[in-house]
Amino acid sequence: MYNNVRLEKGLYHLSDKSFTEALEALDPSNQYADTPLAKLDAYERQLKRFDIRISGSECDRVEKFFTSTESAVLFPEFIRRAIKQGIDSSAMSDISAVHTICSSSQYLGCAINDNASYDTTTSQKNALPITEITEQASPLVLNKYARAIHISYEAIRKQRLDVLAVMLRSVGVKLGNAIVKAAVNVLKTNSGSSTSASGSNFTYSDLANLCGKFKDFNLNTVLASPAVLANILTMDQMLESSSENPGEAMLPFGAIILKTAQLDDKTIIGIDKDFALEMVTGTDLIMETDKIIDNQLSTITISIQTGFRTIMTDAVHILTKA
């Protein structure tokens, strides 16, 4: 049971498991089915074990993690989760069709050559139209995104954990936005077409024409800068549009508009998010954990390796203006 799990630094250093996966192996969640603990993962059960409250009106302070050598082992994962939540709140998951985990800093994916017409009919003894799926000619080199957070235990020991989590999430948000910028650049340089707007400003007619560029795929996601998004929201046609999700903007023909601050005000990107982009991650979020556990905080270093590639270029179309 979770009360008997021995917590030690080595759980962070297993080559084939994350800290949470190591805890799950020692304390499987399936044994808590139909119990009050069913909704907690192995890490959250350890927080309950040591009565560490990380949110709510009775939220604890940072020093609560350091009441014992075992409970201190949980603090790096608290930091990692807060930063990861910030990263995950970016648009990455909204624009990626696939998330691939790679064990190295380079990734060699597949490419598809699908130029032969699907309208071609055939008969017995005639050659069939061909679709080729081959290994890419060159590997995708993953970029490393990193940050050093200067922090001391004395500065944060009396700080509420929920306040610290907000600060750490904000770091994750900005790191995630930097990663999204790389994804935007890949989409801009590997698209099926690029069309100019009819005038100096984007119009609803331009958006409709962008939708018409999608033949085999569907325009279900539109990326626009905050200024362009604001312009779209003032269009008369948007009065007829609504979304089931509060705070979500949707075009009348069903495409979700994502505010993308990494995009300039002269470009709109339309994608079929189910076919357009592959996100490749070489490492999960990495931190140096031992000094955190030993209460020797001065700098927390975090890093993540990732890259993007377009899977189907005809699932990506660009709209620009002068």
Contact 172, 296 (CB under 8 A): no
| Cα dihedral 91/96/101/104 (nearest 10) | -90
Contact 263, 215 (CB under 8 A): no
Low-confidence ranges of the chain (pLDDT < 70): 242, 290, 295
Q: Write down the domain spans for the chain.
A: 2-93+141-181+288-307, 183-279+310-320
CA distances for 235 relative to 20, 206, 254, 306, angstroms: 47, 12, 15, 37
Instruction: Output phi, psi for 293, to 5 deg.
Output: -65, -40
Burial of 43 (0-12, 13-18, 19+ CB in 10 A): buried
For residue 62, the Cα-to-chain-centroid distance in whole angstroms is: 28
Query: CA angle at residue 90 from 322 to 108, to 5 degrees?
Result: 85
Which CATH number does 183-279+310-320 carry?
A: 3.30.2320.10
CA distances for 189 relative to 149, 183, 215, 225, angstroms: 33, 10, 20, 17
**Residues 6 or more apart from 12 whose CB is under 8 A from it?**
19, 22, 76, 289, 290
pTM for this prediction = 0.86
Contact 142, 102 (CB under 8 A): yes
Q: Work out the end-to-end distance of the chain between its first and last CA atoms, rounded to an integer number of angstroms.
A: 64
How many C-beta atoms surround the C-beta of residue 310 within 10 A?
A: 21
Q: What is the pLDDT of residue 176?
A: 94
- Closest of 15, 36, 11, 8 to residue 25, by C-alpha: 11
- What distance in Å separates the CA atoms of residue 220 and residue 92, rounded to the nearest whole number? 15
Token pair 């999430």 is found at: 169
